[in-house]
Amino acid sequence: MTGTHPDLAFAHRLADAADTIALQRFSSADTAWRAKSDGSPVSIADEQIEHTLRNLIQRERPDDGVLGEEFGTSGRGRRRWVIDAIDGTASFLAGEREWSTLIALEEDGAVVLGLVTAPALRRRWWAARGTGAWTQDMDPAASTTVQRVTITGASSLGEAAVGIWPPPARLSPSNLAIAARLAAAVRRTSPETDWTDATRSSSPIRKPSTGTGTCHGALLIATGQLDAFLLLGAGPWDIAALVPIIEEAGGTYAELADTPSADTASALFTNPDLHQQIINIANHKF
């Protein structure tokens, strides 16, 4: 799955480097962090991983640009690597295993390759255009068999389990309305909360992927635990790597039009049967 695709092989080497740093920090319970301007945490591991991957890309792909969550854009050209050093920093700092490194490659603005590595879960997912989507148990004691990822799931909203993130208190009024309409139409949401009121929950709300054996809501579709995942506001580094994985597995991706700025988007990942139904609800066409 990687031997005939040099960029995918390189992405795996980037992931190996990220895994080594992240696991060293994670196993030593290194919880040093600072708050970013939006209040979210960034750890030493986030910054060290992104620096390392940028250096590797500069050395081995000097003509390629890089976009990372922590240090922005560098380089120009038709190819750009998109990196989220640790997706799920709060989980990482809390000693929980559902965190990952996201690596994607864009060519002429289109994502052509995506890889998600979750070393604490000993699991990796990846895809390149035209090659299918794949996953592998990275436990050295386990079989190294690579398995193809294929998406199935409910064909109607009334039967569907749908992940939505972030929780109501962090949503804009327009996105809260979308979440409430969707929650009213489906069998269940993850997390299970009141999506009509941003002030009602009195306890912390956990991500859909918490405790599920995966690390990102979109991958719950690939593992058959959800039928759709709606991410209402995220940076390109949160989304890019997931797009080819979900689409090569037979799913769909759509970017909702109502976004707060050029640097964020609202992403819908789902199986094909639910795609238009959810788009209609998001656009208030039902």
User: In the chain, where do the E strands start and end?
Assistant: 33-35, 41-43, 65-68, 72-74, 79-87, 100-107, 110-118, 123-128, 133-137, 146-148, 161-165, 188-190, 228-234, 252-256, 265-270
Chain centroid to Cα 30, Å, comes to: 23
Kindly report, residue by residue over 120-150, the tens digit of the pLDDT. 999 999 999 999 999 998 887 766 688 999 9
Shared fold status for 6-148 and 157-282: no
What fold is seen in the domain 6-148? Fructose-1,6-Bisphosphatase; Chain A, domain 1 (3.30.540)
pLDDT attached to residue 261:
40
Q: What is the domain class of 157-282 according to CATH?
A: alpha beta
Kindly report, residue by residue over 176-217, the tens digit of the pLDDT. 999 999 999 999 999 999 999 888 655 788 899 988 889 999
**How far, in Å, CA of 117 to CA of 106, rounded?**
18
For the chain, domain boundaries:
6-148, 157-282
